[in-house]
Structure 1
Amino acid sequence: MSIRVGIVGISGFGGGEALRLIASHPAFELVHAAGDGSAGSRLIDRFPGVPRKLAGLVIETWDPDSLPELDLLFASLPTGTSAEALARIPERVKIVDIGGDHRHADGWTYGLADVWPDRVRGSTRVANPGCFPVATLNTLAPLLAAKLIRPDNIVIDAKTGLSGAGRGGGDSRFGFAETNENLQPYGLLRHAHMPEMETTIGQLAGGSAEGLVFTPHLVPMTRGLLVTIYCRGRATTAQCLDAARSFYADRPFVRVTDRPPQTKWASGSNLSFVSYAADPDRELVIAMGVVDNLGKGAAGHAVQNANLICGLPETAGLEGAPLWP
């Protein structure tokens, strides 16, 4: 079975990670690569280690009206740039949007694959969750479903590697001198992922998440993302861990651990690690989640969603072990 695949935005970090995964996927055949900034170059010029079978594929200018015959398109474009263009793609072409334009948008399925795989199966338009939301929502979903925490009093402290900021832009904050041995909070109060998280927490809990607080930070590492989430509830640590193990019992990519998770555990993989510590006397639950921001937080999750919508095994092309060290 060969599924003809295209990637738009292939020169960015998310698109490049999608290329890495699709290059060895047992059913996906990459036949189209697009990216305005790299148009005209071959894949091997941008990615010297690309497999020989893909080396000569020429990156084309992104034009939704002149696509070759495709079964599936991965769109890895900056938020705000994909909605109009993707609306022109024929319905027969399945789309996974790694960018932010279609999360909780009409006509698109919110692809939180580890929590709602049945919503994704059979869809033709899937919006990948953001990297911070997937780490947060995978961690909170078991607690919210079991009513172990309140949805209206959640504080998220998040740390991400620099690749989460994207490859382009020329922003001096992301240069080596500014980021090395430095820690930067950003996006205070109005981060773009806030509405996405509020909406989904509300859906998971059946209640309002209006008290949500979210503060992301850039840390001087290339990839990896950790969320430490402070919640209110009378659950014990054992109850939280049991709820998560039950919730994710048949899910292939979520690991529930007794130990606080570390970003290295997920590096280069589609895994999501969750753990909990609770003090019922103080009504405090600390929930911790780790993902690779380019893997489960972007391209890995996109391939997982694509497997679901194409009727393939969910784990196809995604079972490689994390990088270590």
Structure 2
Amino acid sequence: MSVRVGIVGISGFGGGEAMRLIASHPSFELVYAAGEGSAGSRLADRFPGVPARLAELVIQKWDPATLPELDVLFASLPTGASAEALARVPRDVKIVDIGGDHRYVDGWVYGLADVWPTRIEGQLRIANPGCFPAATLNALAPLLVAKLIEPANIVIDAKTGISGAGRGGAESKFGYAETNENLIPYGLLEHVHMPEIGKTIERLSGGSAAGLVFTPHLVPMTRGVLVTAYCRGRTTTEQCLDAARRFYADRALVRVTDKPPQTKWATGSNLAFVSYAADPERNLVIAMGAVDNLGKGAAGQAVQNANLMCGLPETAGLDGASLWP
């Protein structure tokens, strides 16, 4: 089975990672690449290590009116840049929006692939979760479903590598000099990922997430997201681990570990690592999640969603080992 695939925003980190995964996918054939500043370039000009069969593919200027025949389109555009254009893509073309314009928007399915795979199968429009929600919600989902924690009292401390901020342009504030040997909190009280985290917590638990606190930090590493979520619940560490192992028993891309996860474990992969520590005497549960922000946090989960949409094995093109060191 050959699936004709296109990528919009291929020059960004998310689009480039999608290209890397699709290049070795057993069923996906990359036939269309689009961008703005990179239009007119060959893929090999932008990505010298691209496989030879894709080297001469020319990056087009993004225009939905000139799309070739496609089965799946991956859109990796900045939040606010995709809604109008994607509305003009033919309805029979399946779309995975890696950006933030369609999360919890009518007509689009929220693509939390490891938690709700059956909701994604056969759909035409999928909104990929953000990188912080991918790490956070995979860790919290088993506890919320099992009623082991209170949904209204969750405090999330999150760290991300610099590629999570996107490539940026000439005015980017995320260069080496600004980020090296630095730790930067940002998006306090109003980060763009808060609404999707809150809504998903409510859907998983049936309760209110009104007390949600989420604070992200930029750390000087290229890839990775580590989330530490502080929750209220009179349960034990073993009960939390058991709930997660049951919840993810048939999910190949989530690993439940006794040890606190590390970002390096997930680098270059579509794996999510989750772990827990709990003290019932203190009514305290700590839920931890680690992902690669360009893998499970972006392009990896996007390919996983596309596999589900197309009726392919969920792990197709995604079962490679993480990079180490």
Amino acid of the structure 2 residue aligned with 1:9:
G
Residue 222, structure 1, aligned to residue 228, structure 2: no
Asked whether the 8 Å contact 1:172–1:178 carries over to 2, the reply is no
What is the root-mean-square deviation in Å for CA atoms of aligned residues? 0.6
Report matched runs for 1:33-44 at 5 Å: 33-44=33-44
How many residue pairs end up in the alignment?
325
- After superposition, the C-alpha distances for 1:206-260 in whole angstroms (9 at most, x for unaligned) are 0110100000000000000100000000010000000000000000100000000
Name 1:29's counterpart in structure 2: 29
Determine the structure 2 residue equivalent to 1:176. Answer: 176
Cα displacement (A) at 1:175: 1.3
Distance in 2 of aligned mates of 1:168 and 1:47: 17
Partner of 1:234: 234
Residue 291 of structure 1 pairs with residue 312 of structure 2:
no
Using the size of structure 2 for normalisation, the TM-score is 0.99
**2:274 is the counterpart of 1:274:** yes
Report the counterpart of residue 101 of structure 1 in structure 2: 101
How far apart, CA to CA, are the structure 1 residues paired with 2:191 and 2:224? 19
Structure 1 residue 169: Cα displacement: 3.3
1:255-300 alpha-carbon deviations (Å, 9 max, x no partner): 0000000000000000000000000000000010000000000000
User: Matched residues in 2 for 1:62 and 1:14: separation?
Assistant: 16
* Distance in 2 (alpha carbons) for counterparts of 1:121 and 1:199: 21
1:152-171 superposed Cα distances (whole Å, 9 cap, x missing partner):
00000000000000002344
CA apart distance, 1:172: 5.0
Distance change >3 Å, CA 126–CA 172, structure 1 → 2:
closer
Residue by residue, what CA displacement relative to the aligned partner does 1:26-84 show, whole Å, maximum 9, x if unpaired? 00000000001100000000000000000000000000111001111000000001011
Match of 2:47 in 1: 47
Q: In the TM superposition, what whole-angstrom CA distance separates every residue of 1:65-123 from its partner, at most 9, and x where no partner exists?
A: 11001111000000001011001111110000000000010000100000000000010
- Helix, strand or coil at the partner of 1:99: coil
Once the two structures are TM-superposed, the CA of residue 193 in structure 1 deviates from its matched residue by 0.4
How many Å apart are 1:7 and its aligned residue? 0.2
Q: Distance in 2 between matches of 1:169 and 1:153?
A: 38
Q: Distance in 2 between matches of 1:232 and 1:102?
A: 31
Structure 1 pair 172–72 and aligned structure 2 pair: CA distance change class (3 A): closer
Task: Indicate if the aligned counterparts of 1:7 and 1:15 stay in contact, CA closer than 8 A.
Answer: yes
Q: Map 1:192-271 onto structure 2 (within 5 A).
A: 192-271=192-271
When structure 1 is superposed on structure 2, of 232-241 and 164-173 the one drifting more is: 164-173
State the alpha-carbon separation in 1 of the partners of residues 139 and 265 from structure 2: 16
- Unmatched segments (≥5 aa) in structure 2: none
Q: Give, in whole Å, the separation in 2 of the partners of 1:82 and 1:180.
A: 31
Q: Distance between the aligned counterparts of 1:272 and 1:37, measured in 2?
A: 33
Q: Is the 8 A contact 1:11 1:35 kept in 2?
A: yes
Equivalent runs, 1:156-175 vs 2, <5 Å: 156-171=156-171, 173-175=173-175
CA distance in 1, matches of 2:159, 2:134: 13
Tell me how far apart the structure 1 counterparts of residues 253 and 64 of structure 2 sit (CA, whole Å).
33
Aligned partner of residue 38 in structure 1, secondary structure: coil
Q: How far apart, in 2, do the equivalents of 1:259 and 1:324 lie?
A: 18
Q: Does 1:116 align with 2:120?
A: no
- Equivalent positions of 1:311-322 (< 5 A) are 311-322=311-322
* Deviation (angstroms), 1:173: 3.1
SS in 2 for 1:215: strand
Give the match for residue 149 of structure 1.
149
Paired with 2:35 and 2:235, the residues of 1 have a C-alpha distance of: 49
Tell me which residue corresponds to 2:140. 140
Q: 1:298 is matched by which residue type in structure 2?
A: A
Q: Distance in 1 between matches of 2:313 and 2:231?
A: 35
Q: Name the residue aligned to 1:84.
A: 84
**Does residue 1:74 correspond to 2:74, yes or no?**
yes
Q: Which amino acid aligns with 1:123?
A: Q
3-state SS of paired residue (1:319): coil
Q: Which moved more, 1:174-183 or 1:263-272?
A: 174-183
In structure 2, how many angstroms separate the alpha carbons of the residues matched to 1:124 and 1:238?
39
Percent identity for Structure 1 against Structure 2: 80
SS of the aligned residue for 1:37 comes to coil
Deviations 1:175-198 (A, max 9, x none): 111111110000111000011111
Distance apart, 1:138 and its partner CA: 0.3
Structure 2 residue identity aligned to 1:54: L
Structure 2 CA distance for aligned equivalents of residues 190 and 202 of structure 1: 18
Superposition pairs for residues 56-67 of structure 1, below 5 Å?
56-67=56-67
Q: TM-score, normalised by structure 1?
A: 0.99
